[in-house]
Amino acid sequence: MRLALLGGTGDIGEGLALRWARDTDHEVLIGSRDPEKAREAADAYLETLADHDADGTIKGFANEMAADRADVAVLAVPPYHVGDTVDAVAGKLDADTILVTPAVGMKGDEDGLHYHPPGTGSVTALVAERAPEAVPVVGAFHNLAAGKLATLQADLGVDTLVVGDDPDAKATVSRLAEEIEGLRALDAGPIANATEVESVTPLVINIARYNDEMHDVGVRFD
Protein backbone atom coordinates (compact mmCIF):
# COMPACT_ATOMS: atom_id res chain seq x y z
CA MET A 1 0.00 0.00 0.00
CA ARG A 2 1.20 3.52 -0.75
CA LEU A 3 0.79 6.02 2.07
CA ALA A 4 1.21 9.69 1.16
CA LEU A 5 1.92 12.32 3.78
CA LEU A 6 0.96 15.62 2.16
CA GLY A 7 2.98 18.31 3.85
CA GLY A 8 4.97 15.44 5.32
CA THR A 9 8.05 17.55 6.06
CA GLY A 10 6.51 18.77 9.35
CA ASP A 11 6.37 17.20 12.80
CA ILE A 12 3.37 14.88 12.47
CA GLY A 13 4.46 13.89 8.96
CA GLU A 14 7.92 12.97 10.18
CA GLY A 15 6.57 10.83 13.01
CA LEU A 16 4.08 8.92 10.87
CA ALA A 17 6.64 8.45 8.09
CA LEU A 18 9.26 7.02 10.44
CA ARG A 19 6.84 4.73 12.26
CA TRP A 20 5.13 3.38 9.12
CA ALA A 21 8.44 2.91 7.32
CA ARG A 22 9.94 1.04 10.27
CA ASP A 23 6.92 -0.97 11.41
CA THR A 24 5.29 -1.89 8.08
CA ASP A 25 6.08 -2.87 4.51
CA HIS A 26 4.08 0.03 3.05
CA GLU A 27 5.69 2.55 0.72
CA VAL A 28 5.73 6.00 2.30
CA LEU A 29 5.49 9.05 0.04
CA ILE A 30 6.48 12.44 1.44
CA GLY A 31 4.63 15.30 -0.23
CA SER A 32 5.38 19.02 -0.23
CA ARG A 33 4.58 22.06 -2.32
CA ASP A 34 8.33 22.00 -3.04
CA PRO A 35 9.33 18.56 -4.38
CA GLU A 36 13.00 19.16 -3.58
CA LYS A 37 12.09 19.80 0.05
CA ALA A 38 10.10 16.55 0.02
CA ARG A 39 13.06 14.60 -1.35
CA GLU A 40 15.40 16.12 1.24
CA ALA A 41 12.99 15.17 4.03
CA ALA A 42 12.67 11.63 2.69
CA ASP A 43 16.47 11.27 2.67
CA ALA A 44 16.68 12.62 6.23
CA TYR A 45 14.02 10.18 7.42
CA LEU A 46 15.90 7.28 5.83
CA GLU A 47 19.04 8.41 7.66
CA THR A 48 17.11 8.43 10.94
CA LEU A 49 15.91 4.90 10.28
CA ALA A 50 19.45 3.77 9.53
CA ASP A 51 20.64 5.32 12.79
CA HIS A 52 18.15 3.02 14.54
CA ASP A 53 19.18 -0.07 12.55
CA ALA A 54 15.92 0.04 10.62
CA ASP A 55 14.96 0.58 7.03
CA GLY A 56 11.92 1.22 4.88
CA THR A 57 10.75 2.77 1.63
CA ILE A 58 10.37 6.56 1.71
CA LYS A 59 10.28 8.78 -1.38
CA GLY A 60 9.67 12.50 -1.89
CA PHE A 61 7.32 14.15 -4.40
CA ALA A 62 5.26 17.25 -4.97
CA ASN A 63 1.96 17.00 -3.08
CA GLU A 64 -0.04 16.44 -6.27
CA MET A 65 2.15 13.57 -7.46
CA ALA A 66 2.16 11.96 -4.00
CA ALA A 67 -1.64 12.15 -3.87
CA ASP A 68 -1.94 10.71 -7.37
CA ARG A 69 0.09 7.64 -6.38
CA ALA A 70 -1.46 7.11 -2.95
CA ASP A 71 -3.94 4.60 -1.60
CA VAL A 72 -4.18 6.65 1.58
CA ALA A 73 -3.30 10.36 1.72
CA VAL A 74 -2.76 12.05 5.07
CA LEU A 75 -3.11 15.84 5.26
CA ALA A 76 -0.11 16.43 7.50
CA VAL A 77 -0.49 20.21 7.28
CA PRO A 78 -1.60 22.91 9.75
CA PRO A 79 -5.36 23.50 9.86
CA TYR A 80 -5.11 26.84 8.05
CA HIS A 81 -3.52 25.06 5.04
CA VAL A 82 -5.93 22.11 4.93
CA GLY A 83 -8.49 23.61 2.58
CA ASP A 84 -5.91 24.89 0.10
CA THR A 85 -4.09 21.56 0.14
CA VAL A 86 -7.28 19.63 -0.57
CA ASP A 87 -8.08 21.99 -3.43
CA ALA A 88 -4.57 21.58 -4.86
CA VAL A 89 -4.72 17.77 -4.96
CA ALA A 90 -8.45 17.27 -5.57
CA GLY A 91 -7.92 16.37 -9.21
CA LYS A 92 -5.59 13.54 -8.19
CA LEU A 93 -8.02 11.95 -5.72
CA ASP A 94 -10.75 9.43 -6.47
CA ALA A 95 -12.99 6.92 -4.72
CA ASP A 96 -10.05 4.53 -4.29
CA THR A 97 -8.04 7.07 -2.26
CA ILE A 98 -8.76 7.56 1.43
CA LEU A 99 -8.13 11.11 2.64
CA VAL A 100 -7.08 11.36 6.30
CA THR A 101 -6.90 14.50 8.41
CA PRO A 102 -5.20 14.85 11.83
CA ALA A 103 -5.45 18.66 11.89
CA VAL A 104 -7.11 20.54 14.75
CA GLY A 105 -8.11 24.20 14.88
CA MET A 106 -6.64 25.90 17.95
CA LYS A 107 -5.79 29.37 19.17
CA GLY A 108 -3.54 30.29 22.05
CA ASP A 109 -3.34 32.89 24.79
CA GLU A 110 -1.33 33.29 27.97
CA ASP A 111 -3.30 30.50 29.63
CA GLY A 112 -2.77 27.87 26.94
CA LEU A 113 -4.36 26.53 23.80
CA HIS A 114 -8.11 26.47 23.16
CA TYR A 115 -10.18 24.61 20.60
CA HIS A 116 -11.03 26.88 17.66
CA PRO A 117 -12.95 24.93 15.00
CA PRO A 118 -13.85 26.27 11.57
CA GLY A 119 -17.43 27.19 10.71
CA THR A 120 -18.13 23.60 9.64
CA GLY A 121 -17.73 22.50 13.28
CA SER A 122 -14.50 20.55 12.84
CA VAL A 123 -11.51 20.37 10.53
CA THR A 124 -12.56 16.85 9.56
CA ALA A 125 -15.94 18.16 8.43
CA LEU A 126 -14.18 20.92 6.50
CA VAL A 127 -12.06 18.37 4.66
CA ALA A 128 -15.13 16.28 3.86
CA GLU A 129 -16.84 19.39 2.49
CA ARG A 130 -13.86 20.38 0.30
CA ALA A 131 -12.87 16.91 -0.94
CA PRO A 132 -14.38 15.44 -4.13
CA GLU A 133 -17.70 13.81 -3.34
CA ALA A 134 -16.57 10.23 -3.99
CA VAL A 135 -13.45 10.47 -1.80
CA PRO A 136 -13.87 8.94 1.68
CA VAL A 137 -12.60 11.17 4.48
CA VAL A 138 -11.39 9.92 7.87
CA GLY A 139 -10.21 11.87 10.90
CA ALA A 140 -7.37 10.25 12.87
CA PHE A 141 -4.04 10.88 14.65
CA HIS A 142 -5.29 14.15 16.21
CA ASN A 143 -4.12 13.66 19.77
CA LEU A 144 -0.62 12.25 19.26
CA ALA A 145 2.48 13.98 20.62
CA ALA A 146 4.44 14.59 17.42
CA GLY A 147 7.81 14.68 19.19
CA LYS A 148 7.27 11.31 20.82
CA LEU A 149 5.93 9.84 17.58
CA ALA A 150 9.15 10.83 15.80
CA THR A 151 11.35 9.45 18.59
CA LEU A 152 11.67 5.85 17.48
CA GLN A 153 13.08 4.60 20.78
CA ALA A 154 9.99 5.90 22.61
CA ASP A 155 7.20 3.47 23.49
CA LEU A 156 3.88 5.00 22.46
CA GLY A 157 1.25 3.14 24.47
CA VAL A 158 -1.52 5.53 23.39
CA ASP A 159 -4.79 5.54 21.49
CA THR A 160 -5.93 7.41 18.42
CA LEU A 161 -9.62 8.12 17.91
CA VAL A 162 -10.93 7.50 14.41
CA VAL A 163 -13.99 9.16 12.87
CA GLY A 164 -15.52 8.73 9.44
CA ASP A 165 -18.75 8.13 7.54
CA ASP A 166 -17.38 5.32 5.34
CA PRO A 167 -17.01 2.14 7.44
CA ASP A 168 -14.53 0.50 5.06
CA ALA A 169 -12.30 3.56 4.91
CA LYS A 170 -12.42 3.93 8.67
CA ALA A 171 -11.49 0.27 9.12
CA THR A 172 -8.54 0.65 6.74
CA VAL A 173 -7.19 3.68 8.62
CA SER A 174 -7.67 1.88 11.94
CA ARG A 175 -5.64 -1.08 10.66
CA LEU A 176 -2.89 1.24 9.45
CA ALA A 177 -2.82 2.97 12.82
CA GLU A 178 -2.50 -0.30 14.69
CA GLU A 179 0.35 -1.42 12.47
CA ILE A 180 2.34 1.27 14.29
CA GLU A 181 3.82 -0.40 17.35
CA GLY A 182 2.21 0.86 20.55
CA LEU A 183 -0.70 2.65 18.88
CA ARG A 184 -4.32 1.52 19.31
CA ALA A 185 -7.19 2.79 17.17
CA LEU A 186 -10.63 3.31 18.67
CA ASP A 187 -13.78 3.91 16.63
CA ALA A 188 -15.28 7.24 17.69
CA GLY A 189 -18.18 7.18 15.25
CA PRO A 190 -19.07 9.36 12.24
CA ILE A 191 -17.61 12.70 11.19
CA ALA A 192 -20.36 14.38 13.19
CA ASN A 193 -18.36 13.36 16.29
CA ALA A 194 -15.11 14.93 15.09
CA THR A 195 -15.71 18.07 17.15
CA GLU A 196 -15.42 16.11 20.38
CA VAL A 197 -12.38 14.18 19.17
CA GLU A 198 -10.47 17.21 17.93
CA SER A 199 -11.18 19.21 21.08
CA VAL A 200 -9.12 16.71 23.10
CA THR A 201 -5.93 17.95 21.44
CA PRO A 202 -5.64 21.36 23.15
CA LEU A 203 -6.47 19.66 26.45
CA VAL A 204 -3.57 17.22 25.99
CA ILE A 205 -1.19 20.03 25.03
CA ASN A 206 -2.21 22.11 28.04
CA ILE A 207 -1.61 19.15 30.36
CA ALA A 208 1.87 18.80 28.87
CA ARG A 209 2.49 22.53 29.37
CA TYR A 210 1.54 22.58 33.04
CA ASN A 211 3.09 19.24 34.07
CA ASP A 212 6.82 18.93 33.41
CA GLU A 213 6.83 15.17 33.85
CA MET A 214 4.18 14.76 31.15
CA HIS A 215 5.87 16.51 28.23
CA ASP A 216 4.78 13.85 25.73
CA VAL A 217 1.42 13.06 27.27
CA GLY A 218 -1.06 11.05 25.22
CA VAL A 219 -4.47 9.52 25.71
CA ARG A 220 -5.22 5.91 26.64
CA PHE A 221 -8.78 4.72 27.30
CA ASP A 222 -9.24 1.76 29.67
Percent of the chain with pLDDT over 70: 100
- Which residues have CB under 8 Å from 211's CB, separation 6+? 217
Provide mean pLDDT across the span 45-56.
Answer: 96
**pLDDT score of 115:** 96
**pLDDT score of 213:** 82
**Which pLDDT tens digit goes with each residue over 94-128?**
999 999 999 999 999 999 999 999 999 999 999 99
Provide mean pLDDT across the span 5-31.
Answer: 96
Where does residue 184 rank: exposed (0-12), middle (13-18), buried (19+ CB within 10 A)?
A: middle
Structure-derived torsion over alpha carbons of residues 119, 121, 124, 126, reported in degrees to the nearest 10 = -20
**pLDDT score of 204:** 93
Radius of gyration of the chain (CA): 16
Provide mean pLDDT across the span 174-188.
Answer: 98
Q: At what angle are helices 79-89 and 123-130 packed, to 10 degrees?
A: 20
How many C-beta atoms surround the C-beta of residue 133 within 10 A?
A: 6
Domains of the chain with CATH codes:
2-214 (3.40.50.720)
